[in-house]
Structure 1
Amino acid sequence: MTVLWVKTLHILFVVAWFAGLFYLPRIYVNLAQTADPGARAVLLGMARRLYRFMTPLAVLAVLLGLWLYLGWGVGRGQLWMHVKLAAVAALVAYHLLCLAALRRFERGSNTHGHRYFRWFNEIPVLLLLLILAMVVIKPF
């Protein structure tokens, strides 16, 4: 497989992963607002399925990115890539925080309100901006 195909697939999986990262916290906003058991069950089902769907996308995005970095040396030794990798590590941590929130909702032990999840939903937007700036502008 050529480097261009790996880049193409990497971008595809990153975009798909971000779609999940943008939508899952919106489900959490609704979960934090509802007291209706029927709506809660539907939203929990949606959240579980979305998390199960987006996790393999995240793994593929990260693995293909590592292949570009380690296999072809894309960005190796450049500060912009180190900043990008740190942002990706933060994104993986955010993904895991989404799982922790899902588990709290499943147990009925969530203590955060809808406003918290509205702000929580902005984190991947900021990380995406940072990642894109590093990849496109390469400021360092």
Structure 2
Amino acid sequence: MLWVKAIHVIAVVCWFAMLFYLPRLFVYHTMSDNQAIKDQFKVMERKLYRGIGTPSLWLTIIFGLWSVHYAWEYYVSSTWFWIKMALVLTLVVYHHICGYYLRQLSNDQCTKSHVFFRWFNEFPTIILLASVFLVVLKQPL
């Protein structure tokens, strides 16, 4: 069981690496006026999203559910767990919104500014903080 949790945590770290870095690439992409640099960002963004982010998303979900099934009765009756699941679902939606912006940028059709993406980039940090506090503080010390 501990190896399942370990893989879940590793997948979460990899997924968050993408959630933090991809919107930062969007910032630089939208700031650039050089087409060759924009084309390089397109490659980097696609590889990050498809090669790291999406597989990490699926591993996070699979190994998270696998971990939960060991003590389903406990989790299903815990309010903190359902709040955390709502936060995870929110991140899954955010992940797909990143994919939407990635497609727009790859087709040179994105109208969002670098300022928008600077703010957009902060959202996963808030979700991470809330999730970590929920998990760590679920029981009194």
Would you call these one fold, judging by a TM-score over 0.5?
A: yes
C-alpha separation in 1, matches of 2:103 and 2:116 = 16
Instruction: Spell out, residue by residue over 1:67-110, the C-alpha distance to the aligned partner (whole angstroms, 9 max, x if none).
Output: 12234326221000000000000000000000000011011110
Q: Where does residue 67 of structure 2 map in the other structure?
A: 68
Q: Where does residue 111 of structure 1 map in the other structure?
A: 111
Q: Where does residue 58 of structure 2 map in the other structure?
A: 59
Q: CA RMSD in A?
A: 1.4
Q: What are the within-5 Å matches in structure 2 for residues 1-140 of structure 1?
A: 3-53=1-51, 54-73=53-72, 75-138=75-138
Q: Contact conserved, 1:69 with 1:76, CA < 8 A, in 2?
A: no
C-alpha separation in 2, matches of 1:62 and 1:122 = 22
C-alpha separation in 2, matches of 1:76 and 1:102 = 36
Question: What is the SS of the residue equivalent to 1:110?
Answer: coil
Structure 1 runs of 4+ with >4 Å offset? none
Q: Contact conserved, 1:80 with 1:139, CA < 8 A, in 2?
A: no
Cα gap change, 1:134 to 1:109, in 2 (>3 Å): same
Q: Contact conserved, 1:24 with 1:50, CA < 8 A, in 2?
A: yes
Per-residue deviation, 1:4? 1.2
C-alpha separation in 2, matches of 1:133 and 1:69 = 18
Instruction: Spell out, residue by residue over 1:26-83, the C-alpha distance to the aligned partner (whole angstroms, 9 max, x if none).
Output: 1000111111001000011000000012110110011111112234326221000000
Q: How many residues align?
A: 138
Question: What is the SS of the residue equivalent to 1:75?
Answer: helix
Question: What is the SS of the residue equivalent to 2:69?
Answer: helix
Percent of residue pairs identical: 38
Q: Scaled by the length of structure 1, what TM-score is found?
A: 0.94
Question: Structure 2, unaligned stretches of length 5 or more?
Answer: none
Q: Scaled by the length of structure 2, what TM-score is found?
A: 0.93
Cα gap change, 1:112 to 1:34, in 2 (>3 Å): same
